[in-house]
Amino acid sequence: MKQKQENRYLKYNQFLEKRAGIKSYGQKVVLVLILLFFISFIAAAAILTVINIQDEIQRIKISLEKTINIEKKLIKKELETIENNAKVFISTYEKKKNSTNTNIDFNILKKSHIYSIYNNVEHYTIGRKIPISSVELLQYSDDKYILLTDYLIINMQNMYYVFVNKSAFDYILSPQNSPLSDYDPVFVLKNSPKTFSSFICSSSKFENSNFYIIGCVDKSTVIYGKIISTVFGSIVVFSVFFLLSLSFYTFFFKKILLYPINHLRKNVQYMSDKGLEKVTFDLHKYGDDEFAKISQVLEATRQKILKHQKGMNLVLTTTAKMISMTNDIHNFALFAINSLDELLNAEGSVLCLYSKLEDHCSILVHSDNYLLNKIPFNLEEKEFKKLQKTHHANNIILDKNGDRYIASIKKEVNDEYSLYIVIFKRGERLSEEELKYTDMILSHLVYSINLLNLATYDPLTRLYNRRAIVEYAEKEVERAKRYNHDFSIILLDIDDFKGINDTYGHTMGDIVLKQVAEIIQEETRDVDKVGRYGGEEFIIVLPETETESALRLAERIRKKISEKEFKIGDYKISITISAGVAGLGIHGETFEEILQAADLALYQAKKNGKNQVVMLGKEEISQILEEEFESKNFLLDAISEDRVIPYFQPIVDLNTFEIVGYEVLARIKEGDRVIPAYKFITTAIKFGIVLKIDEIIQRKTVEFLLKSEKVPQMIFFNLSRPYIQDIYHISQFVELLEKNNIPKENIVLEITEEEAISEITIVKEAIRIAKSKGIRFALDDFGVGYSTFSYIKHFDIDIIKLDGSLVKNIHKDNDNQIIVGGIAYICREKGIKLLAEMVETEEEVKILRELGVSYAQGYIFGKPQDNFIENIMEEL
C-alpha cells in the first residue's frame, strides 16, 4: 500500500515535470501555493456567500416585517378615515332620504375611495351595487375589516358595510415605499398567509380582520445578487492578498524556503566537482526540519564513504610505499602509522618491532600526532607489557584510560619478531571496520619486514645479521657441549674503515664491505656461518672446529684481503683486517664468554698495530679483564664519590665573536687532576655506566644553569650510543628541563656521524622525538666524503659540527677549503648552521669566516672549564 502511494506521488511529480514543464523545486512550491490559494479562495468565497445569503435573507425578512407593520398602520389609518367619511355620508344620506330634498352628491363616495355602502338591516345599497351577498357578509360578523374578492369591507356594527376597492391601497402597498425597493418586493392583502419556496416572504394578520398583509421578495434575485457581490469582493481581497503574499514570497520567504534545498544542492555539486573531502554537509547544525535530517544523513554517509575511501587509498598507498621503501622500514612504519592516525582520527600511535631474542624494540616509531599530543610514555610501556604477556600469535586488546581509548595490537612477524602497535583515541573506541583497515596495513608492514629478511639477514652483505648469528652461535655452543665437539669463532674488523668512508664516501665503503663479505664466504665451509656483527665487524661461527684451524682460517682470510687490490670505479684501494680467535673450553663455556675473549683478542690485534690475527691465553685475558674491571671500579667510585662533573667549552659566533653557547663535556676529578672523557668513555660504554654519567652531567648542568644569571643561547650535550638507543632517556631529560624551567629551545643534543650512520633508524626516531619537544639536534664529527652529504637528507638536524681534520691548518689546505665551502653552501640552502671544532689559530678563524661558517669552538676561544667564560680574546 505504501509502495503504491509512493508510486502515485512519483507519477504526479513526473506529470508536473514532463507535461507542465515545471522542473524547479521552487516552481513546484509556487504552483502548490497558488493552487492552495485558489482552493482556499473558492472554499472561503463559497462559505462567505452562503453566510451572506443567509444574513441577507434574514435581513429581508426583518425588513419585510417592519414594512408590513408600517403598511398595516397606514392601511388602518386609511380605513379609519374612510369609515369616518362613510359615517358622515350615511348620516347625510339618511336625513335626505326621508325629506323632499333627495339630491345627494355621490362623488363624495368616490373621493373617499368608497365603492358602495350596504345597509344590512334595511337591505339597501348606497352607491353602486355590491358584488357580494348579505349571507356572505354574515360569515364575518365578528370581524371589523373583511377582505372578499377585490374589496376591503368595513363592518360598522353589522349594520352598514362599507365596500372599498383594494386598489385604493396600492399606493400604500407599493414597493417604492419599502427599504427593499432594490429587490422589487411585492406586498399584497390575502385571506391566508400562504408563501412560496422561491420567495422570501413575511406576513402579518390585520387586526380585527379576516386577511393578512403579505410581503415577498424573489429569492433568486437575492441569491444572485449576493453571489455577485460576494465573489467580486472576495476577488478584490484575494487579489490584493495574493499580490502581497507573492511579493513577500518572492523577495523574502522564497529565500528562506528554498535556502535548505539550494544549500544541499550547492554542497552536492561542490562535492561532485571537488571531491568528498572538500565539502561538509552542515545544514543539520542549524535546524531540525526534513532538509536538516537529509543533511545529517548525507554527512554521515559522506564520512563513512570518505573513511572507506581513505582506508582503501591507505591500503593501496602502503602497497606502493612498500615497494619504494623496502630499504627503510623506519620511514615505511612512520608513514603507515601517520596515515592510520589520519584515517582513524587517532590521538597518536606507536609501533614497535619487538625482538624476542634481545627483549627490546629493534625499531620504535612514534607518529607525529603522538609527539604533538604529548601522550605519556608510561602508557605505551604498559600496553607493550600486556602484549608481551599474551600467548596468542595475533591479538587485539581494547582498553580505556580516563577518556582515552587504547587499542593494542600484536601481530607475529616470525619466530624472532613480533609487531606491536598501540593506538590512542579520544571519544570512541575503534570500530570493527577501522580495526580491519589497521590489520591490512600491519599485514603489509609484516610482509615488508619479511621481504627484507631483517630478522635474519644483513641487507647490505646478505650475511646473517647480528641477532641471527648470535642465536645460531648460542645453539651451536650448546650442541658442542652436549656432543663434546670443538667450537671456535673468529671476530674480525676492517682496519681504518672510517678513513675509507671519509676519503671515498660511504657508497664506496659499502662496496668494500660487500667484497670483504664475499672473500670471507669463499674461504669458509658450508657448515660455517658468517655474520655481520657491527658496522665493519664480521663474525665467523665454526662448528666442530678447533682453535688452531680457526687461527689458520683467520690468517688465510687476512692474507687474501691484504693482498687483494679492491677496484672501486676509478679507485684502487688496499685494505687490511684485524682478527681475534677464541674457542669453547679454552676461553669459556658460554658463547658470551667466548665472544668476550675474541673481542679482547681483536682489541689486542688493533693495539699491536693492526693487520694481524690474535688469540689470547687465559692469563692474558684475565689481565686485560682485570685492567678493565679496575677502570670500571674507578668509574663506579667516581660516581659514588660525586667526582663526575661537567666542563664547559665556549662556542663563538664568528660574525660577532660573542659567546653564544657552550659544549658540555664530562670530566672526572682525581685529586688535582681532571681526567677527560676520551680516557674513560669506552669503558663506560662497555660496562653500561655511560648512561649514569650522562644523567649526572645533565642534572649538574641544569643545576648550574639555575644558578646562572642567564641561560646561554645554546648548550650542547653529547649523546652516547646507548643513550640514543632508548628514547625514554630523552623523555626523562625533557622532564628534567621542564621541571626546572630551562628553555628547551636552548638545548642542542649532539651525536657523532659514525653513530648516526650505524643506527640510522634509531637516531631518526630520537631526533624526531627531541625536536617535537623543541630541542635542537647537531651532527658531530661531520666527515669529508661526498656521500656524507646524503646523510643531511636522512636527519632533521639544526647544526653540523665539522670534523677537526677539516679545520686544522685549513688556511694552508685548498682542498679542505673547497670541501668546507661546499658544506657551508649546502647548510645555508637547508637552513642548517655550521660549527667548526678544534679552531686554534687566527688564520683558521679568518678562513672559516670567509667560507661562511657560522660558529666555532677551540682553544683559541677557551679551553673547557668548570664555569662559563665571560669574554674572549679582545684581539679577535
- Is-contact 186 213, C-beta < 8 A? no
- Is-contact 336 319, C-beta < 8 A? no
- Is-contact 842 876, C-beta < 8 A? yes
- Is-contact 349 423, C-beta < 8 A? yes
Question: Phi and psi (nearest 5°) for 639?
Answer: -70, -45
- Record the cell numbers describing residue 177, joined without a space: 415605499
Residue 536 bears catalytic tag: yes
Determine how many CB atoms are found less than 10 A away from the CB of residue 136: 14
Quote the radius of gyration of the chain (alpha carbons, Å): 61
- Is-contact 660 869, C-beta < 8 A? no
Query: How open is the CA angle 433-305-344, to the nearest 5 degrees?
Result: 45
- Is-contact 196 218, C-beta < 8 A? no
Catalytic residue among 347, 536, 663, 765: 536
Cα separation values, 804 from 243, 339, 801, 834, Å: 93, 42, 9, 13
- Record the cell numbers describing residue 669, joined without a space: 676529578
Cα separation values, 140 from 77, 83, 122, 316, 459, Å: 21, 17, 18, 121, 145
Rounded to the nearest angstrom, the gap between the alpha carbon of residue 258 and the centroid of all alpha carbons in its chain is: 28
- Record the cell numbers describing residue 433, joined without a space: 571496520
Contacts of 277 (CB under 8 A, 6+ apart): 306
Q: Give 354-393 as a DSSP string.
A: EETTTTEEEEEEE-HHHHHTT--HHHHHHHHHHHHH---S
Torsion-angle region of residue 585: left (phi > 0), alpha (psi -120 to 50) or beta? left
- Is-contact 752 781, C-beta < 8 A? yes
- Is-contact 387 326, C-beta < 8 A? no
Query: How open is the CA angle 259-261-266, to the nearest 5 degrees?
Result: 90
Cα separation values, 413 from 391, 394, 449, Å: 14, 10, 8
Distance of alpha carbon 78 from alpha carbon 206, whole angstroms: 13
Closest CA to 69 of 209, 187, 192: 187
Distance of alpha carbon 625 from alpha carbon 691, whole angstroms: 21
Question: Phi and psi (nearest 5°) for 492?
Answer: -125, 155
Catalytically active residues, by annotation: 536
